[in-house]
């Protein structure tokens, strides 16, 4: 029988996952904490740490337990509140549109109260309160949690349509912001990044690779002066990226790097009327010829000193306007006042993500992760193998020469009242071997005919999963979804994901289906972006 019972305390990080890896800012100092279930998790934690220490890489994607995934805002009181919330919900269903309230608000911008007054539904973005969508006047600003399209669907559609057809404004303080300066700044960035650095007052987009040629960053870089660069990236990865930057920083002081966090905030205006709106706020020429696509300028906007990028994640004509927090309310009011004649609307993060889908734009930690190479991620045009050596170049050249095994693709999905969330299996009806992946699940969802009757396959798998384990002739799982949702302006349900490269490139390949809530829905690869495939709108 039972000889002895030992009780001991659990240790938790605020999201319930371990805290593992090298600590940013300290040399050869490692962390392996908050391992709640030591017997079941200890082996994986130990393997990741030993790989990391010996080879410089954990050997697989460990972002979910990386010690850098939290910022300074995650102090003791914040952690205490989140741990209690998470533990009380350990067996609760978590919905994709659910924002949990504990320890919030932690960080806010000067526009927080203004956004609430505008009926914004707020979300937590790396500890920062960020507007997700705006409820109509007279409606309560809250999410009705669901796996299906919910009460935000209509308002987000209105935000997208107004932005695409007129002009919209959104807060973008939840980007990571850095300044790299010094006499060796350009050499430093050329060593870290795959793309060439821009000319003065120009912008480039560039991935960053590790030594194994895997994607560990995706940045917008502007050359503000001969020895000064501004960099924007994923907010959730800023300590992760600072750890990498500091690891490769020259010891002679010729390069300095500064992380702004919330000492620099931003607003983005986008849409066909955004240039007309900006022109009313500045005393310089912002015509297409004077202020080209991918230009960077320092100028006064509404009387406030700002940095302005002619670029936007919506994939439309637009601008990112960056300023010190002390000026954000002034700039926002100027935008709202000047934008009234153009039909300006506020739009939130969910509308922004909907618009990036219809441009086939990837997003960090979804499509771009350390398990993918740059050519797998369809980042080919940003990889300049002919420039001076950069970290990961040899591995990237090998991937290009041999051809990527996987390829990021975009799908249009025949969905009904629900869209993909991420990690769903991608099925294909194939007549030959494309090097397809093994099923990530023990079974797949059944298929249904037009009348809703289940289509039985040729045989069922054996064992306990036989009830759902249908093998449907030539149908098999060939990949997985990374993200998706509803692209409101083109009125299509869309998904991005990875499939074998040979299958992605075979125009004669058969049919695809993507599982959504247990049903397999017809899908087709969408090569060109459904919105402005030529990119003319954002360039002119």
Closest C-alpha to 525, from 538, 537, 515, 513: 513
pLDDT greater at residue 200 or residue 466: 200
Between 42 and 368, the more confident residue is 368
- pLDDT tens, position by position, 478-527: 899 999 999 999 999 999 999 999 999 987 776 999 999 999 999 999 99
In this prediction the pTM is 0.92
8 A C-beta contact, residue 277 and residue 339: yes
Q: What is the largest CA-CA distance in the chain?
A: 84
Report the relative pairing of strands 203-209 and 215-225 from DSSP bridges: antiparallel
Which tokens in the block code for residue 102?
């504990």
**Domain 380-525: CATH class, spelled out:** mainly beta
Choose the weakest-confidence range: 5-9, 158-162, 388-392.
5-9
What is the pLDDT at residue 449? 65
The answer on pLDDT for 20 being more than 80 is yes
- Whether 471 has a pLDDT exceeding 80, the answer reads no
Percentage above 70 pLDDT, the chain: 93
Task: Measure the CA–CA gap between 315 and 346, rounded to whole angstroms.
Answer: 17
Distance CA 511, CA 517 (A): 20
pLDDT at 460: 33
Give tens-digit pLDDT for 44-102.
999 999 999 999 889 888 999 999 999 999 999 999 999 999 999 989 999 999 999 99
Tell me how far the alpha carbon of residue 405 is from its chain's centroid.
Answer: 22
Is the domain covering 265-343 a CATH 3.30.1360.120 domain?
yes
Q: What digits encode the pLDDT tens for the residues 147-191?
A: 999 999 999 999 999 999 999 999 999 999 999 999 999 999 999
pLDDT at 25: 86
Mean pLDDT of 365-385: 96
**Parallel/antiparallel/unpaired status of strands 168-171 and 345-346:** parallel
Residue 467: per-residue pLDDT: 27
pLDDT at 8: 79
CATH superfamily of 176-261: Aminomethyltransferase beta-barrel domains (3.30.70.1400)
> Comparing 335-349, 364-378, 459-473, which segment has the lowest mean pLDDT?
459-473
Q: What are 338-355's pLDDT values in tens digits?
A: 999 999 999 999 999 999
**Can you tell me whether residue 118 is helix, strand or coil?**
coil
**Tokens 């009242």 label which residue?**
417
Q: Is the pLDDT of residue 463 over 50?
A: no
Q: Cα angle vertex 264, ends 259, 267, to 5°?
A: 135
The number of residues in the chain equals 540
For residue 128, what are the CA distances in angstroms to 107, 265, 356?
5, 11, 21
H or E segment to which residue 46 belongs: helix 38-55
First to last CA, the chain: 78
What Rg do the C-alpha atoms of the chain give, in angstroms? 24
Number of H helices, E strands in the chain: 12, 25
pLDDT of residue 296: 99
Three-state DSSP state, 443 = coil
Mean of pLDDT values over 139-146 = 98
**Averaged pLDDT for residues 124-143:** 97
pLDDT at position 461 is 36
Token pair 């870089």 in the structure block, residue = 221
The mean-pLDDT minimum among 32-41, 279-288, 370-379, 397-406 falls in: 32-41
Q: What is the mean pLDDT of residues 277-285?
A: 99
Task: Give percent of the chain above pLDDT 90.
Answer: 83
Indicate the average pLDDT of the chain: 92
Contacts of 525 (CB under 8 A, 6+ apart): 409, 410, 411, 504, 509, 512
H-helix segments, 308-456: 328-339, 349-357, 393-402
Query: How many Cβ atoms are within 10 Å of 88's Cβ, its own excluded?
Result: 10
Residue 432: Cβ within 10 Å count = 11
122 contact partners, CB below 8 Å, separation of at least 6: 99, 105, 112, 115, 116, 129, 130, 131, 132
Which band of pLDDT confidence, cut at 50, 70 and 90, is reported for residue 474?
confident
Question: What gap in Å lies between CA 132 and CA 312, rounded to an integer?
Answer: 17
CB-based contact 200:190 (threshold 8 Å): no
Distance CA 366, CA 483 (A): 6
Q: Do 174 and 234 meet the contact criterion of CB atoms below 8 Å apart?
A: no
Q: What is the pLDDT of residue 506?
A: 86
Closest by CA to 237, choosing from 257, 259, 258, is 259
Task: Output the DSSP codes for 204-273.
Answer: EEEEEE-TTS-EEEEEEEEEEETTEEEEEEEGGGHHHHHHHHHHT--TTSS-EEEE-GGGSEEEEEESTT
Structure tokens at 464: 């306990």
DSSP state of 290: T
Q: How far apart are CA 309 and CA 220, in angstroms?
A: 10
Tens digit of pLDDT for each residue in 416-436? 999 999 999 999 988 777 775
Q: Where are the domains of the chain?
A: 19-69, 176-261, 265-343, 380-525
What is the C-alpha separation between 372 and 385, in angstroms, rounded?
17
């Amino acid at each position: 029988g039972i000889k002895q019972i030992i009780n001991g305390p659990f240790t938790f990080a605020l999201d319930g996952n371990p805290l593992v890896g090298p600590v940013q800012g300290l040399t050869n100092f490692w962390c392996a904490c908050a391992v709640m279930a030591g017997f079941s998790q200890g082996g994986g934690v130990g393997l990741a740490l030993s790989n990391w220490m010996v080879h410089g890489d954990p050997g697989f994607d460990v972002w979910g337990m990386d010690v850098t995934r939290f910022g300074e805002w995650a102090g003791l009181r914040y952690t205490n509140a989140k741990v209690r919330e998470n533990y009380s919900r350990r067996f609760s269903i978590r919905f994709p549109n659910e924002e949990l309230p504990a320890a919030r608000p932690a960080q806010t911008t000067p526009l927080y109260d203004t956004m609430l007054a505008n009926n914004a539904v707020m979300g937590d973005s790396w500890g920062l309160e960020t507007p997700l969508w705006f409820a109509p006047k007279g409606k309560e600003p809250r999410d009705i949690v669901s796996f299906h399209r919910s009460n935000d669907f209509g308002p987000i559609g209105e935000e997208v349509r107004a932005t695409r057809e007129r002009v919209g404004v959104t807060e973008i303080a939840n980007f990571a912001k850095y300044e790299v300066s010094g006499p060796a700044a350009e050499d430093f960035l050329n060593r870290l990044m795959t793309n060439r650095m821009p000319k003065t007052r120009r912008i480039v987009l560039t991935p960053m690779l590790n030594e194994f040629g895997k994607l560990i960053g995706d940045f917008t870089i502007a050359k503000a002066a001969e020895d000064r660069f501004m960099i924007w990236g994923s907010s959730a990865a800023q300590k992760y990226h600072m750890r990498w930057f500091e690891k490769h920083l020259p010891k002679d002081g010729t390069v300095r790097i500064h992380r702004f966090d919330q000492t620099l905030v931003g607003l983005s205006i986008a849409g066909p009327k955004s240039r007309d709106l900006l022109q009313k706020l500045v005393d310089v020429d912002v015509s297409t010829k004077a202020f080209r696509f991918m230009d960077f300028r320092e100028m006064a906007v509404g009387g406030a000193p700002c940095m302005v990028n002619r670029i936007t994640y919506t994939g439309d004509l637009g601008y990112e306007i960056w300023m010190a927090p002390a000026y954000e309310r002034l700039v926002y009011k100027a935008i709202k006042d000047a934008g009234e004649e153009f039909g300006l609307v506020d739009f939130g993060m969910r509308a922004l993500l909907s618009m990036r889908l219809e441009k086939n734009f990837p997003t960090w930690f979804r499509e771009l992760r350390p398990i993918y190479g740059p050519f797998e991620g369809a980042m080919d045009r940003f990889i300049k193998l002919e420039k001076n050596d950069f970290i990961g170049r040899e591995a990237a050249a090998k991937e290009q020469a041999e051809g990527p095994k996987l390829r990021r693709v975009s799908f249009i999905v025949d969905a009904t009242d629900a869209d993909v969330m991420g990690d769903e299996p991608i099925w294909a009806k194939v007549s030959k071997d494309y090097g397809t992946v093994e099923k990530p699940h023990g079974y797949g969802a059944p298929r249904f005919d037009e009348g809703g009757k289940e289509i039985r396959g040729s045989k069922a798998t054996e064992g306990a999963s036989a009830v759902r384990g249908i093998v449907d002739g030539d149908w098999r799982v060939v990949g997985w979804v990374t993200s998706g949702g509803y692209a409101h302006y083109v009125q299509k349900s869309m998904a991005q994901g990875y499939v074998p490269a040979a299958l992605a490139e075979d125009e004669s390949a058969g049919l695809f289906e993507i599982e959504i809530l247990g049903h397999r829905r017809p899908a087709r690869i969408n090569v060109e972006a459904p919105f402005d495939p030529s990119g003319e709108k954002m360039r002119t």
